[in-house]
Amino acid sequence: MGERNRQDRDGEETQSNRADAVEADFVTWRDIFETEERTSERAEVVDENSELGENAERHQERTNALDALKRARELFTGLPDDIDDSIRTYVSELPQWFRRSPTIEARIRVGDDVFETDGFHQTTDTLTAKAYTRIGTSVSITVVCTDQQPSTGQRAWTGTERELAEAVVTLVKSAITRWEIDSLKRVSDGVAVLDSDLSYAYVNQEAEQLLGQDSEELRGEYVWDVFPEAVDTIAEEKIQTALDTQSLTSFERYNAEKEQWVEARVHPSDDGVVIVFSPITDSKVAERELDHVLETIPVGIILLNAEGDITRTNSRAEELLGLSRHKMDEKGYTHPDWDIWDEAGNPITREDHPITRVFETGETIQGFTHGITLPDGSERWLSSNVAPVKREDGSIEQIIVALEDVTVPKRLEQLIKTFQPADEILNNATAGEETRQAICELLTDTREYQYARISEHTPDTELIESDLQEGAGSVAADESVPLPIQSQTEVAPAAVAVETGEIQVVTRTQSDSRFARWRADTLDHGFQGGAIVPLQHRGRVYGLLVLYTHRGEAFGGREQTLLTTFGERVGQVLHSLETERILHADKMAELTFESTDSASFFVSTSEQLDCTIEIRDTIPASDEMLVHYASVQGASVDALSDLAEDTDRAAQLRQIRQTEDSPGGELEIGLRRRSLAQTLVTEGAVVTTDTVTDGRAEVVCEVPLGTDIGSLVARVQESFPETTLVSKREYTPAAKTDAHAVGRVLCDIFETELTDRQQQVLRAAMYGGYFQSPRQSTATEIADALSLTQSTFSYHLRNAQQTLFERLFDRINR
């Protein structure tokens, strides 16, 4: 292929040389027609020698040829201001200098530009001549005779006419060459012209400097012989692409020796390529500085040109969009592969796209929030600021897009909106099963979760697989979620959730090493993450909320916090429903426990001091400390304090009020271990009496008939072995009076409307004598016992009182 190209080039050079020779042959002709007088003189000589055999027709042919060349000299000598106009004029006049001029049409082609007379069309009988300029541009002339009638026969072109065509091509070629070289001399960039077989045809002075080679040395040399180091590089690829596709392309090269960057723009033609070299070292330095800036800022940056094509991105943008720069370069902002949507999940159309709006209005758009589905299927929320860069005439030259990841706050916002409607469900809850079903339906009726299930759990019992079996409460968002979801792999993380009271999660990217089977099962179901949320209240787990989602970045820290709070709210309601069930049970069981277990501080103290201690309330002050409000008879506070200092329970005592029958009084006692009564409350019993006398505790509590009393006793004896159930009495609660009804309302409000901390503060204030006159305890003293600041205690107390009485009066006035 290369050899044939070289042979073609040699043939073209031969033809070009022949054209140069024709030009030399016509020197005598130019000498003759330099002036009108000399032309006339020559004609007279011809007339005088007509008897020697030259006929009149040949005489006219030569005269026409001389006139044609004279006109060519007038149009093409020097450097015409507009050579196209000169060629256009000449081709329109050319037919008159041929025999049968009325039927002659002509065409001159210079590179890709064509100049022809009106009515020109190719025939089988043509007169052609072709040459090449110094930089490889082809120049050709074609003359046709449009008279093709049978009687005329094939047109025979005379030798003079053929010589004229060759001479005209040579003159036009010379003019074009001068014009091209003059134009290239005025170009500040380097220019190198390669012919069709990629040999140097022309190199200007600027290109000589950039290439480091003299133009005469390069002329005729094969480009890859001169620069073998560029073979199989982007330079060879781009030049070949330009030839194959006949489209403009470019590439950049770095000259390490000169420490110089050069941009090469490759312009293809049928006869080769023209490469324009521009030094871009300064712009490269500026570009690198810009890249440094773009790579150090925390937001994603995308630059688009006036056509909407992406021209530059930084690494943060690649990360946010899940695409490499190369992949993004292939896309315009309207490419169908971009999957962006609004808050409702509806696709954002091209008309509503912020970039389109900036192109249309020329105004900046800030804070355009939208979702995007990444190539890996995960979803992300972005906030886009889109601004135009304008030219002096006001047209848009560039668009700058700044992207910020707002997935976390947006997800949190959406999750909060998801959970808000649950308040109405929880506030109006009357039955556990209905409440669980409604919550699951609520959570799956969003984009956040595709599956939800609430499994019941008996507090402080061992979790078994049947506790996690899928029941009526299981809800899937759509038919794409296969049901039922098997629960075997959920047992281990569920057990940890019950034991620790903390949410357990698994995602595609991370999980607890103990939950590998759960993670694999989650991914096999097509989910990106799963969570098991304990529904707890005051340390007791009443159920487990199991969630699965398609979201790739689910169950982050903030979402876990939100789910934990939600789980505590649901747990509180389930506890209230359980309490309601106890209080409204048709039949109750009254249980009386006796304990002589010295592990109880009150049992040990009453035995040593021979006194009676009546425990009126127990309030959690922290994860480790319980505050008891008790009445003591038969022992001084100082005696109790002395014993407290010697115990390993780290008891803290404060006298609230001294009774009239000394010794004795009302005390606030802080302990690091639970009492017998508190253990029963934790198990769901309602304690009515808790009295300790002379080392023997008697605790009376109520549970609904049907409660597993054996299990209850077993769990109490785990903490206090020297404890015995001494009696069980079944009874039917009496009908409630109006006074009881009001009390029930207050109890409901207390349980469902007040937070745990508000309940604790209100109880501590009541039993600590804060409401008595004069006060038995100050706000500071009670706050210290609960490990709170005085201002925090007062804040919770005021809110608790306001909520309690507002809700009471609301219900009374209905």
Q: What SS3 string covers 76-141?
A: HCCCCCCHHHHHHHHHHHHHHHCCCHHHEEEEEEECCEEEECCCCCCCCCEEEEEEECCCCCEEEE
Checking if the pLDDT of 563 tops 80, the result is yes
99 and 128 within one domain: yes
Could you tell me the CATH number of the domain that includes residue 493?
3.30.450.40
Q: Which residues pair with 383 in a beta bridge?
A: 369, 404
In this predicted model, what pLDDT tens digit does every residue of 657-688 receive, in sequence order?
A: 877 677 888 889 888 766 788 778 777 788 88
Report the percentage of the chain scoring pLDDT > 90: 8
In this predicted model, what pLDDT tens digit does every residue of 20-69 receive, in sequence order?
A: 433 333 333 444 344 334 444 444 444 444 444 456 777 888 888 888 88
**Which of 583, 615, 637 marks a domain boundary?**
583
Could you tell me the CATH number of the domain that includes residue 813?
1.10.10.10
Checking if the pLDDT of 329 tops 70, the result is no
**Which of 583, 617, 646 marks a domain boundary?**
583
Q: What's the confidence (pLDDT) of residue 473?
A: 62
Q: How far apart are alpha carbons 379 and 389 in whole angstroms? A: 30
For helices 557-583 and 738-753, angle between their N-to-C axes, nearest 10 degrees: 170
In this predicted model, what pLDDT tens digit does every residue of 286-308 receive, in sequence order?
A: 667 767 766 777 888 888 888 88
Could you tell me the CATH number of the domain that includes residue 264?
3.30.450.20
194 and 179 within one domain: no
Q: Which residues pair with 115 in a beta bridge?
A: 108
For helices 637-646 and 601-609, angle between their N-to-C axes, nearest 10 degrees: 130
- Residue 543 in domain: yes
Element containing residue 524 per DSSP (H, E): helix 516-524
Element containing residue 258 per DSSP (H, E): none
Mean pLDDT over each residue of the chain, to the nearest integer: 79
Checking if the pLDDT of 739 tops 70, the result is no
Whether residue 695 contacts residue 603, with contact meaning beta carbons closer than 8 Å, is answered with yes
- Residue 627 in domain: no
10 and 118 within one domain: yes
193 and 179 within one domain: no
Q: What's the confidence (pLDDT) of residue 37?
A: 40
How many folded domains does the chain comprise? Answer: 5
First to last CA, the chain: 100
Q: Who wins on pLDDT, 85 or 735?
A: 85
- 587-613: string of b/e by CB count within 10 Å (b at 16+)? ebbebebebbbebbbbbbbbbebebbb
16 and 93 within one domain: yes
- Residue 656 in domain: no
Report the percentage of the chain scoring pLDDT > 70: 82
Helices within 131-232 (DSSP H only): 159-185, 205-211, 215-218, 223-226
Q: What's the confidence (pLDDT) of residue 16?
A: 42
Q: What is the DSSP string of 634-654?
A: SS-HHHHHHHHHHSTT--EEE
Q: What's the confidence (pLDDT) of residue 148?
A: 61
330 and 238 within one domain: no
Checking if the pLDDT of 169 tops 50, the result is yes
Checking if the pLDDT of 239 tops 50, the result is yes
In this predicted model, what pLDDT tens digit does every residue of 251-270 receive, in sequence order?
A: 887 777 777 788 888 888 76
128 and 43 within one domain: yes
- The two tokens of residue 536 are 């707890």
102 and 36 within one domain: yes
Report helix, strand or coil for 487: coil
- Amino acid type, 164: L
520 and 423 within one domain: yes
- Residue 440 in domain: yes
Distances from the Cα of 504 to the Cα of 484, 493, 513, 518, 519, angstroms: 21, 6, 12, 11, 12
In this predicted model, what pLDDT tens digit does every residue of 372-416 receive, in sequence order?
A: 888 877 778 899 999 999 888 888 988 899 999 888 787 777 777
> Quick one: average pLDDT of 705-734?
83
220 and 71 within one domain: no
- Residue 634 in domain: no
Domain that holds residue 381: 297-405
Band of the pLDDT at 481, cuts 50, 70, 90? Answer: confident
Helices within 676-755 (DSSP H only): 676-682, 709-719, 738-753
177 and 37 within one domain: yes
Q: How far apart are alpha carbons 219 and 14 in whole angstroms? A: 17
Q: What's the confidence (pLDDT) of residue 738?
A: 52
416 and 382 within one domain: no
> Quick one: average pLDDT of 418-447?
77
In this predicted model, what pLDDT tens digit does every residue of 566-583 receive, in sequence order?
A: 888 888 887 777 766 665
| Ramachandran assignment for 671, one of left (phi > 0), alpha (psi -120 to 50 degrees), beta (any other) | beta
Q: What's the confidence (pLDDT) of residue 385?
A: 92
Q: How far apart are alpha carbons 332 and 413 in whole angstroms? A: 31
In this predicted model, what pLDDT tens digit does every residue of 102-156 receive, in sequence order?
A: 888 999 998 888 999 988 888 878 899 998 877 677 889 999 988 765 544 456 7
- Residue 674 in domain: no
User: How many C-beta neighbours within 10 Å does residue 294 have?
Assistant: 19
Q: Using DSSP bridges, classify how beta strands 588-595 and 723-731 pair: parallel, antiparallel or unpaired.
A: antiparallel
> Quick one: average pLDDT of 12-19?
41
- Residue 660 in domain: no
- Residue 610 in domain: no
**Which of 583, 608, 630 marks a domain boundary?**
583
Q: What's the confidence (pLDDT) of residue 526?
A: 84
